[in-house]
Amino acid sequence: NAGVTQTPKFRVLKTGQSMTLLCAQDMNHEYMYWYRQDPGMGLRLIHYSVGEGTTAKGEVPDGYNVSRLKKQNFLLGLESAAPSQTSVYFCASSYLLVLGTAKNIQYFGAGTRLSVL
């Protein structure tokens, strides 16, 4: 019962470096999401995907790119890291049940703590 797994758990980057965060889910969920969490801000949606091969922008997409080449994986890329991207990043996945039942229950990974110096 792995659920949603994020790698790495921690990372320190220098300004201008690039990196990719990996999210993997084993629940056969169609929908996947990337959030960032900053103190006093709650979680804000960066990008999301409604299925393999499709992605869309969320609330704060600038400076990030994503790819969903396989249904179970959702990658978040930082091409040129900036100190403003220091944050905790959470991946989530979900299914949607129809007709007023449990809509969009999202299951979260444990998070990736990223520091950009």
Which residue ranges make up the site for other proteins (CB under 8 A)? 4, 31, 33, 40-45, 48, 50, 56, 58, 90, 92, 94, 96, 98, 100-111
| Nearest distance from C-beta of residue 116 to other proteins, angstroms | 19
**Cα dihedral across residues 59, 63, 69, 75: positive or negative:** negative
| Nearest distance from C-beta of residue 95 to other proteins, angstroms | 10
* Residue found by looking up tokens 């922008």 in the block: 57
| Nearest distance from C-beta of residue 101 to other proteins, angstroms | 6
With a CB cutoff of 8 Å and minimum separation 6, the contacts of 80 are 16, 17, 18, 63
| Nearest distance from C-beta of residue 112 to other proteins, angstroms | 10
Please say which residue, 59 or 79, places its beta carbon nearer to other proteins. 59
For 93, counting Cβ atoms within 10 Å of its Cβ (0-12 exposed, 13-18 middle, 19+ buried), the class is buried
Please say which residue, 85 or 94, places its beta carbon nearer to other proteins. 94
